[in-house]
Amino acid sequence: MSEMLLDIKNLHVWFKIYNSVLKVLNGVNFNVKFGEKVGLVGEAGCGKTTTMKALLRILPSTALIPEGDIFVRGKNILKLNSRELADLRGRGLSMIFQDPTSALNPVFTIGQQLYDIIQYSAGSSGQKVANKKNVALRALHEARLPDPERMLDSYPIQLSGGMRQRVCIAFAIATARDLLIADEPTTNLDVTIQDQVLRLIRDLVEKKGSSLILITHSLGLAREITERVYVMYAGNMIEMAATSLLFKKPLHPYTKGLLASVPRLSGGGFAEGIPGRIPDYRNPPPGCRFEPRCPYAFEPCSKAMPPYIDVGDGHQVACYLYQNRQENRKNA
Amino acid sequence: MMTEKMFTPNAIENPRVRRLDSLKKSWYKFSRNWLSLLGLVIVVIIVFLAVFAPYVAPYPQHAGKFIDFKFMNQPPSWQHLMGTDEIGRDVFSRIIFAYRSALFMAIVVLAISVPFGTLAGLIAGYYSGSWIDTVIMRVTDVFISIPPILLALSIAAVLRPTLVNTMIAVSVSWWPWYTRMTYSLASSIKNEFYVHAAEITGASKTHILFHEILPNCSSSLFTKIALDIGWVTLVGAALSFVGLGEQPPKPGLGDMISKGIERMPAQWWIALFPALAIMFLVLGFNLFGDGIRDTLSPEEG
Amino acid sequence: MRLGPFILRRLALSIFVLFGLSILIFLIARVIPGDPARMALGPRTPVDVVEKLRQKMHLDKSLPQQYGFWLRDIITRGDLGDSLLTRRPVKQDIREFFPATLELVGLTAIFIVVFGISLGVISARYANTWVDKVVRLFSYLGIVTPAFAWAVILMLLFCFVWYLFPSYGRLTEGVIPPVTITGMYTIDSLLNGRLDLFWDAFVHLILPAIALALPPMSQAARLTRSSMADNQNKDYIASMIAYGVPSRIVSRKYLLKPSLISPLTVMGLDIAATFGYAFMVEQIFAFPGLARYGIQVMLNKDVNAIVGVVMVLGVVFIILNLTIDILVSYLDPRIRLLGRSS
């Protein structure tokens, strides 16, 4: 337990809309160890970003958390007072957003924003941070940005997409933090830059010994960088395993469908999509949320959400198809 | 997050049923906001007063040549709900007739400026990036940079101060706003797939402009027109304040205020009620226009 | 493009526009009325007297030459001819009336900016609470009521129901205005060290300024609020908070600055429009300003005076637009770097 940096237990998040409620997160379980690189894979709208925003406590005011806990370094962060929250934000977590253009305030220079981030990383102690400029320059340098001095006085509009994302990375690593969350960091970038940015993230994370959560809808990316992967669908984690194991032996029908959707460079055949759509969060299915689209659905699937079934080697899947395996292992 | 359309089978196929159905849905959405309903009520009242003025006003003859010094400067009473002015005319009746000419002016001004401005904006937007765009929008910019009141004033002052000339002046200062709005809408709509599809299948430019692009501007257009009735009236009142517009003895809201100012504070009702009447009209059309905008804008997913 | 060259470019453009405006005005002034010399002297003057005046006024020369003489007179001596209405040099009329309107619009502008933005920020900060609802209701009423209606209402309430403010003029009757430096009574009295005069001039300005300011102020408050509400959900705000920057710093600095861009632009347009509505408020409060003068000369087809007023207003608008452009480009670097905002 002490090696667990982050532990999200049974998290439910709802959003109030004008005449009803969107029940987006449906009991999410997610954890990250110190220094671990974890992937979070799922299609658009499945709740990946919501989970992270809940973690950082930057959910919009229309959101509410009816159930669940989030533990960071053993402390339940949903119950923090403002001083503890300031400490957490200053030292604990950082996030790189999907769209670097909207993540940078257009009317302030890079330097102005960076100085404030550095200053307030002292958390609630409020100490004046010395040598802000050196810290800033070093961060920009580590993010492999050219001419850091001039970068400090530049506005986001003057930079290319790749540079903006590297600036966001610089913000994230400027001061020592335990966890870096990268939310689709390369989606909005040119293919040629994607690789560089991704490698930069991996190198920095390894160098500083931080943990990494890589959120992506691209399985290939997850495979390259992460040690362990969660697959998410419609507000639930439906499968989790060590990366290589997941790709070798996917168990959940959804995961299988995802992998089959990726076009192969070698071998024949077209990629198959997964027919159907994510459910309406106003009226989600009472049982497994994938059941309406699942080709293997059978009787228990529409009754209740399947529990996590441990099939060995740290591989967990939330699917009734495998409940025998769990029982078999128990009996064995 | 996508809102999924519910496909109920059967009756929706019939276009008449579909239109009635969407009208019902629009009304439901509109009526949920009490402010929009209030606006609608006010608008209906004003339109009713304007259309049926000769039958509704207690003293319709006071809106024309009429002098009765016996009753001049009477404060508000049951006989004269808003008092009488310095010549003995009933203020309430004159306000009703002033509403009539105000709405008439608004309709005429919009009837001229909306088609002209919208057409210019559609063309400029569709050909955006070309010289046509530049020419049209530069001309529009010149007109827009002068506040409408000043422009209308200058033009009306140069010509003779009649109602017709004033309407022309206001129209000239009004059309650029429609051009600008349609231009920004059209230049983004023209990149949509259905426009490309129409182009490829060889549709004529007229068809594209009027049957592909224009309908998608309609919600913004309707909203703006509803709001503008109030604003045009305001400009009209400002102009009639200095004697441009409806000429005496016919009543104009601004003209009534300017005459009433001279009698402040003793005969305060002569100036106050026309001022409140303008407020009432602008408030009503604003609430109504906002309601239309809320009704026509797509639901957020 | 940095700030310096940007300003220079806009300045050059403005001067160009000014020239264009002067040509336009000159043409209109010469084309519309009949014979300016005849009009100046009256219908009964003998023909040869009129002819002499025509020569003196260069009316016998070609149009471009006339324009040249006219422009020279204006630039070197500020001579715009005489007003038919007041029978004084137009220059004198303008020097008397323009500072009054400038004072009035100046105070109005201060009200608009200060109260418009403050109310908008308060409304956004307490969004959806009763504070917000009250401010929004008040703003709505402010927007739908035109300045002249407010003038009537305010005058009735604060001059006659409660005797708080004077209802006409720039100073109380009998009071001698301060020594003229700028022509604006408030500033001149301060420069003269006469606080009593300052107060007298100020109370004469307050009601008309409030009447003029209420509609644009309400619009500005509304825009500021919606701008802040829109930007509140942007990633760059969430990012700052996630990094631990305190929320009061985030709202005061990182939320406010980008949110002021569109309200400021609209406020600029509204302040320009205020010159248009000023004539009615000046009329209602019997305030002897340029707007009132301008309307009177326009209706009387007093050509020289019209030209003078239009030129003065033209210069004012150009300076105003330039100032707004500079302010907005300071706020939003995208404009000065790209020549447009995103």
Query: Cα separation of C239 and A172, whole Å?
Result: 10
Structure tokens at B108: 């005429």
- Higher pLDDT residue, B149 or C316? C316
pLDDT digits (tens, 9 = 90+) for B182-191: 888 887 777 7
Please, which pLDDT band fits residue B29 given cuts at 50, 70 and 90? confident
Per the CB < 8 Å rule, is A277 touching B1?
Answer: no
Q: What is the enclosing helix (H) or strand (E) of B53?
A: helix B53-56
Best CA proximity match to C211, nearest among C266, C164, C277: C277
**CB contact burial B4-36 (16+ within 10 A = b; e otherwise):** eeeeeeeeeeeeeeeeeeeeeeeeebbeeeeeb
CB-CB neighbors (< 8 A) of B4 in chain A: 277, 280
Per the CB < 8 Å rule, is C236 touching A102?
Answer: yes
Using DSSP, state whether A41 is helix, strand or coil. Answer: strand
Structure tokens at C73: 């007179």
Distances (CA, A) of C301 to A78, A305, B147, C50, C294: 74, 84, 21, 20, 10
**CB proximity C18 to B under 8 Å:** no
- By percentage, how much of chain C surpasses pLDDT 90? 8
Q: How many domains does chain B have?
A: 1
Best CA proximity match to B102, nearest among B161, B156, B49, B42: B49
- Higher pLDDT residue, C123 or B195? C123
Lowest-confidence pick of A295-309, B9-23, B134-148 = B9-23
Is residue B300 scored above 50 in pLDDT? no
Which chain B residue has the Cα nearest residue A234? B1
DSSP state of C122: H
From the list A88, A113, A157, the residue facing C333 with the nearest CB is A157
Which chain A residue has the Cα nearest residue C342? A157
Secondary structure of C180-247 in the HEC alphabet?
A: CCCCCHHHHHHHCCCHHHHHHHHHHHHHHHHHHHHHHHHHHHHHHHHHHHHHHCCHHHHHHHHCCCCH
- Length in residues, chain C: 342
pLDDT (mean) for B80-96: 82
**CB proximity B296 to C under 8 Å:** no
Query: Cα separation of A249 and C301, whole Å?
Result: 91
DSSP state of C159: I
Which chain B residue has the Cα nearest residue C296? B242
For B169, residues 6+ apart whose C-beta sits below 8 A from its C-beta are B151, B152, B153, B155, B156, B159, B239, B244
Please, which pLDDT band fits residue B108 given cuts at 50, 70 and 90? very high
Per the CB < 8 Å rule, is A58 touching C238?
Answer: yes
CB < 8 Å from B in window 68-107 of C: none
Interface test with B, best of C280, C287, C293 (most B CBs within 10 A): C280
**CB proximity B267 to C under 8 Å:** no
CB-CB neighbors (< 8 A) of B148 in chain C: 273, 276
From the list A58, A116, A158, the residue facing C242 with the nearest CB is A58
Q: How near does any CA of chain B get to the CA of A279, in Å?
A: 10
pLDDT (mean) for C319-336: 79
Is residue B100 scored above 80 in pLDDT? yes
Q: Could you tell me if residue B30 is inside a domain?
A: no
Mean pLDDT of chain C: 80
Please, which pLDDT band fits residue B192 given cuts at 50, 70 and 90? confident
pLDDT (mean) for B182-207: 80
Q: Could you tell me if residue B165 is inside a domain?
A: yes
Q: Could you tell me if residue B13 is inside a domain?
A: no
ipTM: 0.78
Q: Could you tell me if residue B75 is inside a domain?
A: no
| Model pLDDT, residue C113 | 93
Q: Could you tell me if residue B66 is inside a domain?
A: no
Which chain B residue has the Cα nearest residue C295? B242
| Model pLDDT, residue A2 | 55
Tell me the pairing of strands A316-317 and A236-242: antiparallel
| Model pLDDT, residue C39 | 62
Please, which pLDDT band fits residue C217 given cuts at 50, 70 and 90? very high
Domain of residue B93: give its range.
35-58+80-296
**CB proximity B206 to C under 8 Å:** no
Q: How near does any CA of chain B get to the CA of A247, in Å?
A: 29
Q: What is the DSSP string of A99-134?
A: -HHHHS-TTS-HHHHHHHHHHHTTGGG-PPPTTHHH
The torsion region of residue A184 among left (phi > 0), alpha (psi -120 to 50) and beta comes to left
A-C contacts at Cβ under 8 angstroms = 84
Q: Report pTM.
A: 0.78
Please, which pLDDT band fits residue B109 given cuts at 50, 70 and 90? very high
| Model pLDDT, residue A61 | 77
pLDDT digits (tens, 9 = 90+) for A64-122: 888 888 888 888 888 877 777 777 777 778 888 888 888 898 889 998 898 888 888 76
Q: Could you tell me if residue B106 is inside a domain?
A: yes
- Higher pLDDT residue, A119 or C174? A119
**CB proximity B276 to C under 8 Å:** yes
| Model pLDDT, residue C209 | 93
- Paired residues of A76 in beta bridges: A71
CB-CB neighbors (< 8 A) of B2 in chain A: 277
| Model pLDDT, residue C170 | 77
Is residue A4 scored above 90 in pLDDT? no
| Model pLDDT, residue B254 | 87
Q: How near does any CA of chain B get to the CA of C72, in Å?
A: 25
| Model pLDDT, residue B114 | 93
Lowest-confidence pick of A159-163, A327-331, B22-26 = A327-331
- Paired residues of A70 in beta bridges: A8
CA count, 13 A, side-chain hemisphere, A56: 33
- On whether the CB atoms of residues C103 and C285 are closer than 8 A, the answer is no
Lowest-confidence pick of B126-140, B278-292, C11-25 = C11-25
| Model pLDDT, residue A1 | 45
- Higher pLDDT residue, C58 or A125? C58
| Model pLDDT, residue C34 | 60
pLDDT (mean) for B267-291: 88
Which chain A residue has the Cα nearest residue B301? A17
- Higher pLDDT residue, A326 or B110? B110
Looking at chain C, which subunits does it touch, using at least 3 CB pairs closer than 8 Å as the criterion? A, B
| Model pLDDT, residue A332 | 46
- Higher pLDDT residue, A87 or A244? A244
pLDDT (mean) for A23-36: 88
pLDDT (mean) for B221-225: 88
Distances (CA, A) of A179 to A175, A211, A241, C149: 11, 5, 20, 61
CB-CB neighbors (< 8 A) of B264 in chain C: 152, 155-156, 160, 167
Is residue C127 scored above 50 in pLDDT? yes
Count other Cβ atoms within 10 Å, centred on residue C327: 16
Per the CB < 8 Å rule, is A93 touching C242?
Answer: yes
pLDDT (mean) for C106-112: 93
Residue type present at position A184: E
CB-CB neighbors (< 8 A) of B279 in chain C: 144-146, 149
Lowest-confidence pick of A177-186, A213-222, B3-12, B222-231 = B3-12
Mean pLDDT of chain B: 80
Is residue B1 scored above 50 in pLDDT? no
Highest mean pLDDT among A246-255, B62-71, B110-119 belongs to B110-119
Per the CB < 8 Å rule, is A281 touching B1?
Answer: yes
| Model pLDDT, residue B110 | 93
Is residue C211 scored above 90 in pLDDT? yes
| Model pLDDT, residue A320 | 84
Is residue B65 scored above 80 in pLDDT? no
Please, which pLDDT band fits residue A217 given cuts at 50, 70 and 90? confident
**CB proximity C298 to B under 8 Å:** yes
Per the CB < 8 Å rule, is B282 touching C284?
Answer: no
DSSP state of B4: P
Please, which pLDDT band fits residue C111 given cuts at 50, 70 and 90? very high
Chain A residues in contact with chain B using a Cβ-Cβ cutoff of 8 Å:
22, 45, 277, 280-281
Please, which pLDDT band fits residue C33 given cuts at 50, 70 and 90? low
pLDDT (mean) for A241-261: 85
| Model pLDDT, residue C247 | 80
pLDDT (mean) for B249-270: 82
- Higher pLDDT residue, B66 or C278? C278
Please, which pLDDT band fits residue C108 given cuts at 50, 70 and 90? very high
Q: Could you tell me if residue B238 is inside a domain?
A: yes
pLDDT (mean) for C319-333: 81
Measure the CA angle with vertex A31, ends A30 and A37; round to 5°: 115
Q: What is the enclosing helix (H) or strand (E) of A26?
A: strand A20-33
Please, which pLDDT band fits residue C14 given cuts at 50, 70 and 90? confident
- On whether the CB atoms of residues A182 and A201 are closer than 8 A, the answer is yes
Interface test with A, best of B1, B6, B28 (most A CBs within 10 A): B1
CB-CB neighbors (< 8 A) of A121 in chain C: 243-244
Per the CB < 8 Å rule, is C167 touching B258?
Answer: no
Best CA proximity match to B43, nearest among B176, B215, B229: B229
| Model pLDDT, residue B124 | 85
Q: Could you tell me if residue B169 is inside a domain?
A: yes
Please, which pLDDT band fits residue B4 given cuts at 50, 70 and 90? very low
Q: State the Cα torsion B150-B154-B159-B162 to the nearest 10°.
A: 20
CATH code for the domain in which residue B216 is found: 1.10.3720.10
Please, which pLDDT band fits residue B301 given cuts at 50, 70 and 90? very low
For A111, residues 6+ apart whose C-beta sits below 8 A from its C-beta are A136, A151, A152, A153
Tell me the pairing of strands A211-216 and A228-233: unpaired
